[in-house]
Amino acid sequence: MDISNAGRAKVLVQALPYIKKYNGKIVVVKYGGNAMTDEKLKNSVMKDIVLLWLIGVKVVLVHGGGPEITDTLAKLGKETVFKNGLRVTDKETVDVVQMVLAGKINKSLVNLLGTKGGKAIGLSGIDGRMITAKAKNTELGYVGEITKINAAPISDVLEKGYIPVVSTVACGEDGNVYNVNADTAAAKIAAELKAESLISMTDIAGVLRDKNDTSTLIRVIKIGEVPELLSGGIIAGGMIPKAECCVNAVKWGVKRVFIIDGTVPHSIIIEMLTDEGIGTMFEA
């Protein structure tokens, strides 16, 4: 779609109050889903992050990488087993998780941000003991429950003017490495950093009153309304843990938490820098 010069000017003017609002503030982006596996979408997300960084937003990118872990395990001839939506993670599997998340994916994102004009530094939850975890339960093996966040390494990287890219592997007091949930890690990191916003990228438009009709998107949810939405089945299935993370993040002090559709190009910019927005916002 062609946009006239007047149209471009109107878009920029509309963005001005949002640029002022977010300038110098910390925004945590939890990155996952199709936006992570589709190359065009991946490029779109990286451009959005670099744009925010260039206008003075302190962006922290927190990522998972479940599909790529599954693909790597398959190439190694190892079957992936899930229990209650969580990957059963034995010693061999957690080694692959660490290799894929903290190595391949993390560094490829750092490199991609660099090609878009950004300056990024890759971190894992193990660096500086940033994310500490304990075993969730014995059946799941090295799946971790987060016990502590040390945000100092992220703050140091932000202070030097870089974009921190954080992979969600954690260290344990027992010396083991644990695979932790990226949504939970992003929420806890955002709270510890006293972030202005947390943006969680998914593969759907947000919370819908009718899951088959995107026009029923709920644009704003007060966290006190969530129990009713849960009991009414409006927040259901895979949206339940995401909504719980959003509620917790708000309770922990993050001002605004968004669930947005990462399959829409430039969805981060649409949500943050336009009047209309794109997803569902959770607030106190």
- Match 């451009």 to its residue by tokens: 47
**Residue 103 included in any domain:** yes
| pLDDT on residue 227 | 93
The parent domain of residue 197 ranges over: 28-209+220-283
**Residue 7 included in any domain:** no
**Residue 177 included in any domain:** yes
Residue 56 backbone dihedrals phi, psi, to 5 degrees: 95, 10
- Give the tens place of pLDDT for each residue, 82-131: 887 778 899 999 999 999 999 999 999 999 999 999 999 999 999 999 99
C-alpha 109/C-alpha 167 separation (Å) is: 10
**Residue 266 included in any domain:** yes
| pLDDT on residue 3 | 60
Distances (CA, A) of 158 to 19, 48, 56, 93, 108: 18, 17, 11, 32, 19
Averages of pLDDT over each 10 residues, the chain, 284 residues = 69 86 95 83 94 96 91 91 83 93 95 97 96 93 95 97 97 94 94 95 88 89 93 87 91 93 90 85 91
**Residue 255 included in any domain:** yes
Domain count for the chain: 1
C-alpha 154/C-alpha 256 separation (Å) is: 20
**Residue 35 included in any domain:** yes
Q: Give the CATH number for residue 78.
A: 3.40.1160.10
C-alpha 73/C-alpha 68 separation (Å) is: 9
**Residue 8 included in any domain:** no
**Residue 129 included in any domain:** yes
